[in-house]
Amino acid sequence: MTIPASFIQELIARADVVEIVGRYVPLKKAGANFMGLCPFHGEKSPSFSVSPTKQFYHCFGCGVHGNAIGFLMEHGGMGFVEAVHDLAGQYGLQVPEDDASPEERARAAGQRQKQATLSDVLEKAGEAYRKQLRQSPGAIDYLKGRGVSSEVAKQFGIGYAPPGWRTLAGVFPDYDDPLLAESGLVIVGEEDADKRYDRFRDRVMFPIRNVKGECIGFGGRVLGDEKPKYLNSPETPVFSKGRELYGLFESRAALRDKGYALVTEGYMDVVALAQLGFPNAVATLGTACTPEHVQKLFRFTDSVVFSFDGDAAGRRAARKALDSALPFASDVRSVKFLFLPAEHDPDSFIREHGAEAFSRFVNEATPLSRFMIEAAREGCDLGSAEGRAHMAANAKPLWSALPEGALKRQLLGEIAELVQLGMQDINALWMPAAPPPARNAPQPFPEAPRYEDDGTPVGYPSRDRKERGNWRDKREGGKGSWGDRSARGNFAAGSAARPRLRPPGRPDVAARLLLSNMHEWEPLSHELHSLLCDLPGEHGQLFTWLDGQLHEHGVQPWAALREGLRGQPFEALAERLMTGPDGGPIEDNEGEQAADAAKELRNVLDFMLDDLLKARQSEAIAAVGSDPLALERYKALETRRLELRHRLKPSISG
């Protein structure tokens, strides 16, 4: 379902970003704006500014910025659609859905109501469990024996489910209410629907909360050694263990303060670590780590450390976590694997060796790159050609899952060296050349031009006004120019004369590449997301819509995106960008084409980012007289621009 852009604009205009941010960040008035400590990176002096006039926040330290919706997404870990619904609810607005039928709207409204109702039921049960804990010496002794203080127990909302079969009947007078079964609190007999009993009995209860702090399920641990030791809520309309992480709500601030997330294997690990000075721990819910888990964590931090036991089971769990983490291991993110001694879990290790020793252990954890190589070479005899070939076969799917970037290129070189193949050889082995096109087949869309500093495409040698005018003359059809059919390629045999083409602008190129390679959107930094979504006019609306589609539906091919675009104000723009010169649609890129497209996208975005930094420099210079920090901002921006220009130097030189 698509949310109209007009409603989003109205919502942003009505929302007070100072009020929204101020609920999570202490703000103080500073001139026309409000200032506070940035919630997205650790700092001691405030550099986080919130503007009530622009309805915008910006950190001069880490560069993060956005509006009220963006803040809820970044700080609360929400998807775009979820953030819009949350913000609209705060202001009493009903979110319209353009392309939904009345039946679909009613179904969606019913689902949201059901989720809210189930959360209310679970919250009521959680309160009852907390009251029971205060009256249960055995459960209190168990928690004290594990070193859990009353403060930490209160922070995590820990409770206790008594041993009775129908204890919740005293909490919910209508024990036959279907909501009790649907929420997972009550089990209904398969053969006898009248046979109902509490799912959780004689267990310490750990509420599982979503990123908004709503109770969506429970985990229960026995006080002794009975089996199963841990019991989770079943899958419900509000709870899916493959997407949720225990302790994420409680650890959000600590993730930014500590700079990394520590992923553990159980509720007690999370609670004990919070007690011992590591409140940045979270846990999977009795299941292997999934890509959804990793993606959710990277909304809050750029560094994740997985902690596992050093035994065979721990190595198997780590291997599954590796598979889930590889697609998100971009050059600006860190993933590590911590293997504890067999006799320890994080709790016992810290108690025996101390918090400082555990911190060192975390810092020395195995990087993803090394663990990936170890996983690929496991069981392979690198002293034989067969063993090296086996390792190459193991490494290919792991390496292919990595996003494009420097890390992927470095690992290719390392793998090539271990299997005693040259870089060109392993490239040829893993990415064979595409077969030649069939005769009379349409040729691919010409590569979009790269840009000089003055905005003209690379390859037009002079930048002075006169020669740029000559270039424009050539562009309009002169020989050897972009407008010349021979330079653009013979797209289809016997085709008629083409209309004059102008080189697409950078936003056009970025939109085309992302519409045909949607998976490239997620690895982009928050700064680049904001840069694209904040573009004026239809381009900004298109990128905002694309971001919402990813959060709501995941990665989609162009054919699926095309259907979702129907009726959107930027439909014609997207259709034009995704239509090739032969009039047919541009296909989704795969293999080597996808790698080239990703490289082209990074190049275009670097130019756009340089323009943005240049504009911020101008703002900083204009503020030098009134803002004592303006000059420092200018210098920091200049450093970033120098790094960008160094990266762009090959493109600029053509």
Helix H or strand E segment including 637: helix 630-652
Residue 47 one-letter amino acid: S
Count CA atoms within 13 Å of residue 214 on its CB side. 13
Count CA atoms within 13 Å of residue 138 on its CB side. 10
Which pLDDT score, from 0 to 100, does residue 440 have?
46
Answer yes or no: is pLDDT of 107 > 80: no
Span 107-111, mean pLDDT?
Answer: 63
Span 246-262, mean pLDDT?
Answer: 88
The answer to whether the beta carbons of residues 221 and 206 sit under 8 Å apart is: yes
More confident residue, 190 or 380: 380
Which pLDDT score, from 0 to 100, does residue 25 have?
86
More confident residue, 240 or 557: 240
Span 292-317, mean pLDDT?
Answer: 86
Span 157-162, mean pLDDT?
Answer: 95
Instruction: Give the tens place of pLDDT for each residue, 524-534.
Output: 887 888 889 88
Residue 256 one-letter amino acid: R
The answer to whether the beta carbons of residues 276 and 347 sit under 8 Å apart is: yes
Q: Tell me how crowded residue 563 is: count the other CB atoms within 10 A of its CB.
A: 9
Structure token digits, residue 179: 């909501």
Mean pLDDT (the chain, rounded): 80
Which pLDDT score, from 0 to 100, does residue 590 have?
61
Instruction: Give the tens place of pLDDT for each residue, 26-41.
Output: 888 888 889 999 887 7
133-141: list long-range contacts, CB under 8 Å, 24+ apart: 133/158, 133/159, 133/160, 133/204, 133/205, 136/160, 136/162, 138/223, 139/204, 139/223
The pLDDT confidence band at residue 65, using thresholds 50, 70 and 90, is: confident
**110-232 is a CATH 3.90.980.10 domain:** yes
Which pLDDT score, from 0 to 100, does residue 489 have?
38
Instruction: Give the tens place of pLDDT for each residue, 351-370.
Output: 888 889 999 999 999 999 99
Answer yes or no: is pLDDT of 125 > 90: yes
**C-alpha torsion angle, residues 256, 258, 263, 264 (rounded to 10):** -140
Span 55-75, mean pLDDT?
Answer: 84
Q: Which of 176-180, 343-347, 509-513 has the lowest mean pLDDT?
A: 343-347
Phi, psi of 412 (to 5 degrees): -60, -45
Answer yes or no: is pLDDT of 52 > 90: no
Q: Tell the residue number behind the tokens 């001069």, with chain if given.
A: 60
Q: Which of 112-116, 540-544, 645-649 has the lowest mean pLDDT?
A: 112-116
Angstrom distances, CA of residue 23 to CA of 80, 255, 640: 20, 18, 32
More confident residue, 579 or 140: 140
Phi, psi of 402 (to 5 degrees): -70, 145
Q: Give the whole-angstrom CA distance, residue 407 versus residue 633.
A: 30
More confident residue, 651 or 278: 278
The answer to whether the beta carbons of residues 80 and 548 sit under 8 Å apart is: yes
Which pLDDT score, from 0 to 100, does residue 129 have?
96
What is residue 597's three-state secondary structure? helix
Q: Tell me how crowded residue 606 is: count the other CB atoms within 10 A of its CB.
A: 17
Span 636-653, mean pLDDT?
Answer: 74
The CATH topology of domain 248-373 is: Dna Topoisomerase Vi A Subunit; Chain: A, domain 2 (3.40.1360)
What is residue 527's three-state secondary structure? helix
Span 252-278, mean pLDDT?
Answer: 88
Of 20, 57, 58, 62, which Cα lies nearest the Cα of 41? Answer: 62
Which pLDDT score, from 0 to 100, does residue 226 have?
83
The DSSP code sequence of 154-210 is HHHT-EEE-S-TTGGGGT-S-TT-HHHHHTTSEEE-SS-TT-EEES--SEEEEEEE-
Which pLDDT score, from 0 to 100, does residue 474 have?
38
pLDDT > 90: what percent of the chain? 30
More confident residue, 606 or 645: 606
Q: Which of 114-123, 259-268, 342-351, 550-559 has the lowest mean pLDDT?
A: 550-559
The CATH topology of domain 5-91 is: DNA Primase; Chain A (3.90.580)
Which pLDDT score, from 0 to 100, does residue 488 have?
36
Sheet holding 303-309, edge to edge: 281-283, 261-264, 303-309, 334-340, 366-367
Answer yes or no: is pLDDT of 410 > 80: yes
Longest CA pairwise span in the chain (Å): 90
Q: Give the whole-angstrom CA distance, residue 564 versus residue 571.
A: 9
Helix H or strand E segment including 391: helix 385-401
Q: Burial code of 150-173, b = ≥16 C-beta within 10 A, e = fewer?
A: eebbeebbbbbbbeeeebbbebbe
For 234: left if phi > 0, alpha if psi spans -120 to 50, otherwise beta; the answer is beta
Domain boundary assignment for the chain? 5-91, 110-232, 248-373, 379-428, 506-648
Q: Which CATH class is domain 506-648?
A: mainly alpha
The pLDDT confidence band at residue 45, using thresholds 50, 70 and 90, is: confident
**C-alpha torsion angle, residues 256, 258, 261, 265 (rounded to 10):** -140
Q: Give the whole-angstrom CA distance, residue 37 versus residue 43.
A: 7
The pLDDT confidence band at residue 60, using thresholds 50, 70 and 90, is: confident
Answer yes or no: is pLDDT of 631 > 90: no
**0.85 cut: is pTM over it?**
no
Instruction: Give the tens place of pLDDT for each residue, 568-588.
Output: 888 889 888 888 765 656 766
Answer yes or no: is pLDDT of 141 > 90: yes
Q: Is the peptide bond before 449 cis (omega within 30 degrees of 0)?
A: no
The pLDDT confidence band at residue 651, using thresholds 50, 70 and 90, is: low
**C-alpha torsion angle, residues 189, 195, 198, 201 (rounded to 10):** -90
Q: Give the whole-angstrom CA distance, residue 238 versus residue 215.
A: 9
- Which residues make Cβ contacts (< 8 Å) with residue 635, sequence separation at least 6? none
Angstrom distances, CA of residue 101 to CA of 108, 111, 354, 570: 11, 15, 60, 21
Which pLDDT score, from 0 to 100, does residue 102 have?
64
β-partners of residue 198 are 186
Q: Burial code of 53-84, b = ≥16 C-beta within 10 A, e = fewer?
A: eebbbbbbbbbbbbbbbbbbbbbbbbbbbbbb
- Which residues make Cβ contacts (< 8 Å) with residue 288, sequence separation at least 6? 317, 320, 321, 324
Instruction: Give the tens place of pLDDT for each residue, 430-450.
Output: 875 545 554 444 444 334 444
Instruction: Give the tens place of pLDDT for each residue, 608-620.
Output: 988 888 888 888 8
Structure token digits, residue 601: 């996208």
Which pLDDT score, from 0 to 100, does residue 207 have?
96
